[in-house]
Structure 1
Protein backbone atom coordinates (compact mmCIF):
# COMPACT_ATOMS: atom_id res chain seq x y z
CA UNK A 1 0.00 0.00 0.00
CA UNK A 2 1.41 3.34 -0.97
CA UNK A 3 1.53 6.31 1.36
CA UNK A 4 -1.09 8.10 -0.74
CA UNK A 5 -3.48 5.14 -0.50
CA UNK A 6 -2.97 4.92 3.26
CA UNK A 7 -3.71 8.63 3.68
CA UNK A 8 -6.83 8.41 1.51
CA UNK A 9 -8.13 5.41 3.48
CA UNK A 10 -7.47 7.23 6.77
CA UNK A 11 -9.22 10.41 5.60
CA UNK A 12 -12.23 8.46 4.33
CA UNK A 13 -12.45 6.64 7.68
CA UNK A 14 -12.17 9.91 9.60
CA UNK A 15 -14.86 11.60 7.53
CA UNK A 16 -17.09 8.54 7.86
CA UNK A 17 -16.72 8.68 11.63
CA UNK A 18 -17.59 12.37 11.73
CA UNK A 19 -20.67 11.85 9.56
CA UNK A 20 -21.80 8.84 11.62
CA UNK A 21 -21.48 10.80 14.87
CA UNK A 22 -23.44 13.74 13.39
CA UNK A 23 -26.21 11.51 12.02
CA UNK A 24 -26.39 9.60 15.31
CA UNK A 25 -26.87 12.87 17.16
CA UNK A 26 -29.71 13.86 14.86
CA UNK A 27 -31.30 10.42 15.23
CA UNK A 28 -31.10 10.66 19.02
CA UNK A 29 -32.73 14.10 18.99
CA UNK A 30 -35.49 12.86 16.67
CA UNK A 31 -36.07 9.83 18.89
CA UNK A 32 -36.40 12.10 21.93
CA UNK A 33 -38.96 14.27 20.14
CA UNK A 34 -40.94 11.19 19.10
CA UNK A 35 -40.95 9.90 22.68
CA UNK A 36 -42.16 13.24 24.00
CA UNK A 37 -44.94 13.31 21.39
CA UNK A 38 -45.91 9.72 22.17
CA UNK A 39 -45.39 8.61 18.58
CA UNK A 40 -42.97 5.79 19.32
CA UNK A 41 -45.27 2.80 19.12
CA UNK A 42 -44.93 1.54 15.56
CA UNK A 43 -46.97 -1.29 14.12
CA UNK A 44 -45.46 -4.65 15.07
CA UNK A 45 -45.40 -5.63 11.38
CA UNK A 46 -43.05 -2.73 10.71
CA UNK A 47 -40.63 -3.90 13.39
CA UNK A 48 -40.66 -7.44 12.02
CA UNK A 49 -40.07 -6.17 8.48
CA UNK A 50 -37.11 -4.01 9.50
CA UNK A 51 -35.56 -6.82 11.56
CA UNK A 52 -35.89 -9.34 8.75
CA UNK A 53 -34.81 -7.06 5.90
CA UNK A 54 -32.04 -4.95 7.39
CA UNK A 55 -30.77 -6.18 10.74
CA UNK A 56 -30.43 -9.91 10.04
CA UNK A 57 -26.89 -10.51 8.86
CA UNK A 58 -25.68 -7.05 9.86
CA UNK A 59 -24.96 -7.82 13.50
CA UNK A 60 -21.29 -6.88 13.19
CA UNK A 61 -22.19 -3.56 11.59
CA UNK A 62 -24.61 -2.88 14.44
CA UNK A 63 -21.97 -3.76 17.04
CA UNK A 64 -19.40 -1.56 15.31
CA UNK A 65 -21.80 1.38 15.44
CA UNK A 66 -22.66 0.67 19.05
CA UNK A 67 -19.02 0.49 20.11
CA UNK A 68 -18.22 3.65 18.15
CA UNK A 69 -21.03 5.45 19.93
CA UNK A 70 -19.93 4.20 23.33
CA UNK A 71 -16.34 5.23 22.69
CA UNK A 72 -17.16 8.66 21.25
CA UNK A 73 -16.51 10.51 24.51
CA UNK A 74 -13.15 8.83 25.05
CA UNK A 75 -12.16 9.49 21.43
CA UNK A 76 -13.04 13.17 21.74
CA UNK A 77 -10.95 13.49 24.91
CA UNK A 78 -8.00 11.71 23.30
CA UNK A 79 -8.09 13.88 20.18
CA UNK A 80 -8.48 17.17 22.04
CA UNK A 81 -5.56 16.28 24.27
Structure 2
Protein backbone atom coordinates (compact mmCIF):
# COMPACT_ATOMS: atom_id res chain seq x y z
CA UNK A 1 0.00 0.00 0.00
CA UNK A 2 1.28 3.40 -0.89
CA UNK A 3 1.51 6.30 1.52
CA UNK A 4 -1.22 8.12 -0.42
CA UNK A 5 -3.62 5.17 -0.09
CA UNK A 6 -2.88 4.95 3.65
CA UNK A 7 -3.57 8.66 4.09
CA UNK A 8 -6.83 8.36 2.11
CA UNK A 9 -8.02 5.44 4.27
CA UNK A 10 -7.17 7.37 7.45
CA UNK A 11 -8.91 10.54 6.21
CA UNK A 12 -12.03 8.59 5.24
CA UNK A 13 -12.07 7.13 8.76
CA UNK A 14 -11.56 10.59 10.24
CA UNK A 15 -14.43 12.08 8.23
CA UNK A 16 -16.64 9.11 9.11
CA UNK A 17 -15.88 9.64 12.79
CA UNK A 18 -16.76 13.34 12.61
CA UNK A 19 -20.03 12.57 10.82
CA UNK A 20 -20.96 9.79 13.24
CA UNK A 21 -20.20 12.01 16.21
CA UNK A 22 -22.46 14.69 14.76
CA UNK A 23 -25.38 12.34 14.21
CA UNK A 24 -24.54 9.42 16.49
CA UNK A 25 -28.04 8.85 17.81
CA UNK A 26 -29.61 8.81 14.37
CA UNK A 27 -26.85 6.60 13.01
CA UNK A 28 -27.32 4.12 15.86
CA UNK A 29 -31.07 3.92 15.30
CA UNK A 30 -30.65 3.45 11.54
CA UNK A 31 -27.98 0.76 12.08
CA UNK A 32 -30.23 -1.05 14.53
CA UNK A 33 -33.15 -0.96 12.11
CA UNK A 34 -30.97 -2.27 9.29
CA UNK A 35 -29.81 -5.16 11.45
CA UNK A 36 -33.33 -5.97 12.65
CA UNK A 37 -34.79 -5.96 9.13
CA UNK A 38 -31.75 -7.66 7.59
CA UNK A 39 -31.32 -4.98 4.97
CA UNK A 40 -27.92 -4.98 3.30
CA UNK A 41 -26.23 -2.20 1.41
CA UNK A 42 -27.11 -2.12 -2.28
CA UNK A 43 -24.67 -3.84 -4.62
CA UNK A 44 -22.78 -0.90 -6.10
CA UNK A 45 -19.69 -1.77 -8.12
CA UNK A 46 -17.70 1.29 -7.09
CA UNK A 47 -18.27 0.68 -3.38
CA UNK A 48 -17.22 -2.96 -3.73
CA UNK A 49 -14.11 -1.95 -5.67
CA UNK A 50 -13.06 0.61 -3.04
CA UNK A 51 -13.64 -1.84 -0.19
CA UNK A 52 -11.68 -4.62 -1.88
CA UNK A 53 -8.79 -2.40 -3.00
CA UNK A 54 -8.27 -0.13 -0.01
CA UNK A 55 -10.30 -1.07 3.05
CA UNK A 56 -9.73 -4.82 3.38
CA UNK A 57 -6.55 -5.31 5.38
CA UNK A 58 -6.58 -1.69 6.54
CA UNK A 59 -9.36 -1.88 9.09
CA UNK A 60 -7.15 -0.68 11.92
CA UNK A 61 -6.05 2.35 9.95
CA UNK A 62 -9.68 3.20 9.20
CA UNK A 63 -10.59 2.63 12.85
CA UNK A 64 -7.79 4.95 13.98
CA UNK A 65 -9.09 7.73 11.75
CA UNK A 66 -12.65 7.00 12.86
CA UNK A 67 -11.75 7.26 16.55
CA UNK A 68 -9.76 10.46 16.01
CA UNK A 69 -12.79 11.88 14.21
CA UNK A 70 -15.14 10.99 17.05
CA UNK A 71 -12.84 12.51 19.67
CA UNK A 72 -11.57 15.47 17.60
CA UNK A 73 -13.47 18.19 19.46
CA UNK A 74 -12.39 17.01 22.91
CA UNK A 75 -8.82 16.65 21.69
CA UNK A 76 -8.81 20.26 20.46
CA UNK A 77 -10.09 21.42 23.85
CA UNK A 78 -7.40 19.51 25.76
CA UNK A 79 -4.66 20.80 23.46
CA UNK A 80 -5.84 24.42 23.87
CA UNK A 81 -5.86 24.07 27.66
CA UNK A 82 -2.26 22.89 27.68
Give the structure-1-normalised TM-score: 0.47
Considering Cα pairs closer than 8 Å and 6+ residues apart, tell me whether 1 or 2 has the greater RCO.
2
Larger-gyration structure (1/2):
1
